[in-house]
Amino acid sequence: MFPLRDSHKSHKYPLITVIVILVNAFVFGLELFVLDTEGFINSYALIPANVDFTNYITFTPFITSQFLHAGFLHIISNMWFLKIFGDNVEERFGHIKYLLIYLFSGVVGGLAQYLLSPNSDIPMLGASGAVAGILGAYLVFFPKHQIETLIPFGLFSRIVNLPASLMLIYWFATQIFSGVGSIAIAQIGGVAWFAHIGGFATGWIIAKFSKGDIVGIVDEAEEGKSLDY
């Protein structure tokens, strides 16, 4: 299932979402045009074997790796999901908190994949863990939103409206099954499924614990009080 659009657009400009998409596009352009692409990726991707818990500098790839991608399909799919689901979550959290949750979800996702194969020398890269955190938060806040979704059946593909809860729970379930199936081949590369799972769970937990406070703030705003982001 592939989302095309959601039924509720935010009432505020999704500044951070737009900036994150532009930064990812810019960095991907650097990947394409630098003279030494492999060296560039090895410098900024998360390579588990290089992580040294006695040297904090080796932690920086947990952040920088979130802005690297392995190809056009990789970056387009990640940024498309962020575009579809990010604006509502950004409006609900506010710009700064949204950015911190995005980055933190990516870090936890990277850590989850790192723990699976801490001695691997295969570079880990991509925004999938961070984007998954936004999906997890969206599931908490907007489970009843309708998502216009493409369901491929070869020549008989259909576009249907599905509740966000159904689509995102299905998405998360596929990550779990794929993640379990990938354990045996974690040392030879592929998709970092556990980064998706860790990021999604992080966003879901943060949103779940903050939901009551945010609802209260929104209620106050609706009563005429200011709501500044």
Q: For residue 92, is pLDDT > 90?
A: yes
Residue 98, in any domain of the structure: yes
In a domain, 29, yes or no: yes
Residue 22 structural domain = 2-222
- Nearest of 101, 90, 82, 97 to residue 12 by alpha carbon: 90
Report if residue 229 sits inside a domain.
Answer: no
Active site residues: 128, 196
Rounded to whole angstroms, the Cα distance separating 130 from 200 reads 8
What integer pLDDT is reported at residue 176 of this predicted model?
A: 65
pTM of the predicted structure, to 2 decimals: 0.85
Of the candidates 138, 111, 100, 120, the one whose C-alpha atom is nearest the C-alpha of residue 197 is 111
Cβ(203)–Cβ(135) below 8 Å: yes
By three-state DSSP, how is residue 162 classified?
Answer: strand
Task: Give yes or no for a contact between 46 and 110, defined as CB atoms under 8 angstroms apart.
Answer: yes
200 contacts 135 by C-beta, under 8 angstroms: yes
pLDDT category at 222 given cuts 50, 70, 90 is very low
**What pLDDT was estimated at residue 216?**
46
- What's the CA gap between 143 and 212, in Å, rounded? 15
Please check the confidence at residue 69 and state whether its pLDDT lies above 60.
yes
Q: Lowest mean pLDDT: which of 73-77, 129-133, 177-181? A: 177-181
Secondary structure letter of residue 223 according to DSSP: T
* pLDDT exceeds cutoff 70 at 71: yes
Query: Does residue 210 belong to any structural domain of this protein?
Result: yes
pLDDT score, position 167: 84
Confirm whether 185 is domain-assigned.
yes
Question: For residue range 156-215, what is the model confidence (pLDDT) as tens digits?
Answer: 788 889 999 998 887 777 766 554 443 334 444 445 677 888 999 999 999 999 876 554
**Helix residue spans in 34-163 (DSSP H):** 37-44, 61-64, 72-93, 95-116, 128-141
pLDDT digits (tens, 9 = 90+) for 11-55: 899 999 999 999 999 999 999 999 898 999 999 999 999 999 899
One-letter identity of residue 165: S
Q: Give the C-alpha separation, 23 to 75, whole Å.
A: 11
Q: Which of 210, 194, 67 is nearest to 132 (CA)?
A: 194
Residues paired with residue 162 on neighbouring β-strands, in sequence order: 147
Q: Is residue 195 part of a domain?
A: yes
In whole angstroms, give the CA distance from residue 111 to residue 192: 11
Q: What CATH number did the domain enclosing 216 receive?
A: 1.20.1540.10
% pLDDT > 70, the chain: 82
Please state, for a pLDDT cut of 90, what percent of the chain lies above it.
55
* CA–CA separation, 23 and 39 (whole Å): 20
Q: How many CA atoms within 13 Å lie on the side-chain side of 168?
A: 29
Domain count, the chain: 1
Residue bearing the bigger pLDDT, 158 or 142: 142
228 within domain boundaries: no
